[in-house]
Structure 1
Amino acid sequence: MQALSFLRRFAPALALCAAAIAPAHAAYPEAPIKMVVAYAAGGGTDIIARLMAQYMQKHLGGNASVVVINRPGAGGGIGFTELTSAQPDGYTIGFINTPNVLTIPIERKSNFHWQNFDLLGNIVDDPGNFSVHADTPIKSLAELVTYAKANPGKVTYGTTGIGSDDHLAALMFERTAGVKMTHVPFKGAAEVHNAIASKQIMLAAMNIGEALQYQKGGTPLRHLGTMSEKRSNLAPNVPTFKEQGYDVIMASLRGVAAPKNLPPAVREQLVNAVQKAVADPEFQAKAAGYFAPLRYLAPAAYAAELKEDEAGFKQLWQAMPWTDK
């Protein structure tokens, strides 16, 4: 009885002592965060992801570490699937790209949908573009059309995969211009770049930011047109498709997402880290050096735009299925 009385009297004190000597639970993140990129290393998404990783680490604070993992293939489908199927614990995040994240589930059965992600914020909005090797005599879309009409199927064009913004834009151009070209899909913009640099393909359908970066790196490219409503600030001397008589508007959103159902506190930390990273003057300066056209969208605005774009691509699929079959 005396022992029991002792325990009752001193139990609270013993509990406090135990709590004092127990190791404190470390704040998130306790381990490295994996950032999945669904395209090959060296492309526009990979480059901006590696930059984002540095500045997310900075704004998460502590010993935060963000490691980029490339999972290319299936037009982005492999990486998107890995991201959506990961544990929603905050230790796997990644980039999702339009239109691929929207178009793949439209064209075939997929294990992901944009609503399967917790959106953390959009980073980039990069207009589409056609580029040729500088040695090619073609200097405008009109000259490209003239050649393509005289040589049906002879124009080979590279993209980042079936259903990518590059592919859809090329199909729209074919329909608008009344030409037929030959599609050569790759796993990422870096592979498209290598193919146009070595003249394995005649035309590179890639975003203007990526094309300008490769040109800065020494690849002699000529840009035939951007797929924006107005000329891009990145390339004010490059006319739009619309200016040249071809009504083709296409761009790629590149944003950060995580598996659905993150713990609310973790989600808030990640959303804040993305926002602060994009607003960081150092990040903005470095992104400009990579010709990455930044356009931050908070999660709600990002979701609204994805929903609207998805509806448009569903209509496009009904009118113009984009498979190569």
Structure 2
Amino acid sequence: MQVVRFLLITALALATMSARAAWPDDRPIEVYVGFAAGGGTDLLARAMAPYLQKHLGGKARIIVVNKPGASGEIAYVSLSRAAADGYTIGIVSTPSLLTIPIQRKPKYEASAIVPVARVIDDPAMFVVAGDSKLNSMADLVRQLKANPEGLAMGSNGIGTNGHMAALALQQATGAKVNHIPFAGTSQTKTSLLGHHIDVMAMSTTEFTDADRASKDVRVLAQLGAERRPGVKDVPTAREQNLDIQISSERGFAAPRGLPPDIAKRLQDAIEATTKDPEFLARAVNEARGISYLSGAAWSQHMATQRGKFESLWKIASTK
């Protein structure tokens, strides 16, 4: 009986080693994205995919799978339940990864999703339609105070950086913001251009060169600590006397239990991509927000961010 058991354990170990030795050549790696096509998270995944393949080497293939809805939770549920074999990873985004457990009991175990590497640190912005009468944050605050809840602000979902920006504005002004969640940035922008909402909160890297050249949209403020490349002409909220600083951080994560050698190889390929001259030249918007952190360092940083979002949620949502 012991001999049989030994043979079974040995066979299982050999099968596992064989599967890991074949990774990632024997089938595609799926990257789950929790937001609709066209948003910052989706664009990052698709921009990085060919370069991740290049730096993983061999026959590596990356397939982006959109699972939009519930501020990313649908994708997070799928990611948390996937096999930890390197063939299913995801792009996760904060604040949503951190705020979902704050606002409700999630349908996934938070510790079942393990960061692999941060790629982007991407401040939010307040954006209006090109023909809007709002020309500054002072105009926005004036209208907000004159007609509480009368100003509609769109974002790409509850608990996202856009929603946190709306709550921060609410906290800073004392006036209730009418927050309208959408499934993704592209839908939010469509609503803004259709004048169904007054303002949208979006990430800096989502504001493309086409947006800059267009007269259809204008940026009132960027919510970073300092002005970022590509929008150097736009003042920060702090420069306009509003202490609001909200950013979206995006990067890769995997199901808990990913073999260390696979995790290391993924992390190395991600870091190499963030430094790849061809990627940086082609993915201009994404390149403006590159801020690489290893999985371990990002996990530590998330712990500090979680407290900030908990405080913001509790204070601002009660006003």
- CA deviation after TM superposition for structure 1 residue 307, in Å: 1.1
Question: AA paired with 1:53?
Answer: A
Correspondence 1:71 to 2:48: no
Q: What is residue 138 of structure 1 aligned with on the other side?
A: 134
- How far apart are the structure 1 equivalents of 2:244 and 2:277? 33
Aligned partner (choices 23, 29, 33) of residue 28 of structure 1? 23
Higher mean alpha-carbon deviation, 232-241 vs 126-135, is at 232-241
Note closer, same or farther for the CA distance 1:77–1:25 as it changes in structure 2 (3 Å cut): closer
Decide whether aligned partners of structure 1 residues 289 and 173 sit closer, same or farther in structure 2, where only a CA change above 3 A counts: closer
Instruction: Determine if contact 1:125/1:253 at 8 Å carries over to the other structure.
Output: yes
Secondary structure at the counterpart of residue 207 of structure 2: helix
Q: What is residue 155 of structure 2 aligned with on the other side?
A: 159
Partner of residue 6, structure 2: none
Number of the residue aligned with 1:103:
99
Aligned length: 301
Specify the SS of the correspondent of 2:22: coil
The 5-angstrom pairing of residues 1-325 of structure 1 reads 27-29=22-24, 30-112=26-108, 114-213=110-209, 215-216=211-212, 218=214, 220-289=216-285, 292-321=288-317
Q: 1:269 to 1:179 in 2, by over 3 A?
A: same
Q: Cα distance 1:136–1:321, how it changes in 2: closer, same or farther (>3 A)?
A: closer
The aligned amino acid for 1:260 is: R
CA contact (8 A) 2:170 2:316 kept: no
RMSD value over aligned CA atoms?
A: 2.1
Give the secondary-structure state (helix, strand or coil) at the position aligned to 2:283. helix
Q: Percent identity?
A: 38
**Aligned position for 1:8:** none
Contact 1:158 1:205 in 2 (8 A): yes
Q: Which amino acid aligns with 1:160?
A: N
- Give 1:275 deviation, angstroms: 1.1
Q: CA, structure 1 residues 218+170, in 2 after alignment: closer, same or farther (shift >3 Å)?
A: same
- Structure 2: unaligned runs, 5 residues or longer: 1-17
* One-letter code aligned to 2:23: Y
Q: CA deviation at 1:217?
A: 7.5
Aligned equivalents of 1:145, 1:135: Cα separation in 2 = 18
Give 1:27's aligned amino acid: A
2:268 alignment partner AA: N
Give the stretch that moved more between structures: 172-181 or 124-133: 172-181
Runs of 5+ unmatched residues, structure 1: 1-22
Distance 1:120 1:169, change over 3 A: same
Following TM superposition, by how much is the alpha carbon of 1:107 offset from its aligned partner in structure 2, in angstroms?
1.1
Shift of 1:299: 1.4
The TM-score, its normalising length taken from structure 1, stands at: 0.87
| Contact 1:234/1:291 (<8 A) preserved | no
Of residues 151-160 and 107-116 in structure 1, the stretch that sits farther from structure 2 once superposed is: 107-116
Partner Cα distance (2:240, 2:59) in 1: 52
After alignment, is 259-268 or 83-92 more displaced? 259-268
Whether the aligned pair in 1 keeps the contact of 2:205 and 2:285 (CA below 8 Å) is no
Counterpart residue identity of residue 300, structure 2? A
The verdict on how the C-alpha distance between 1:75 and 1:24 changes in structure 2, with shifts beyond 3 A counting, is closer
Q: Report if the CA contact (8 A) 1:131-1:211 is conserved.
A: no
Shift of 1:150: 2.5
Distance of aligned partners of 1:178 and 1:91 in 2 relative to their CA distance in 1, 3 Å threshold: same
Q: CA deviation at 1:209?
A: 1.8
TM-score (norm 2): 0.88
Higher Rg: 1
Aligned to 2:23, the other structure's residue is in SS state coil
Q: C-alpha distance in 1, partners of 2:133/2:51?
A: 43
The SS at the match of 1:268 is helix
Aligned partners of 2:121 and 2:247 also within 8 Å = yes
Q: CA deviation at 1:281?
A: 1.0
User: What is the aligned partner in structure 1 of residue 7 from structure 2?
Assistant: none
Residue by residue, what CA displacement relative to the aligned partner does 1:240-293 show, whole Å, maximum 9, x if unpaired?
111111101100000101101112221121111111111111111222245651
The amino acid that maps onto 1:187 is A
Alignment-mate amino acid for residue 298 of structure 1: S
Distance in 2, Cα, partners of 1:185 & 1:96: 18
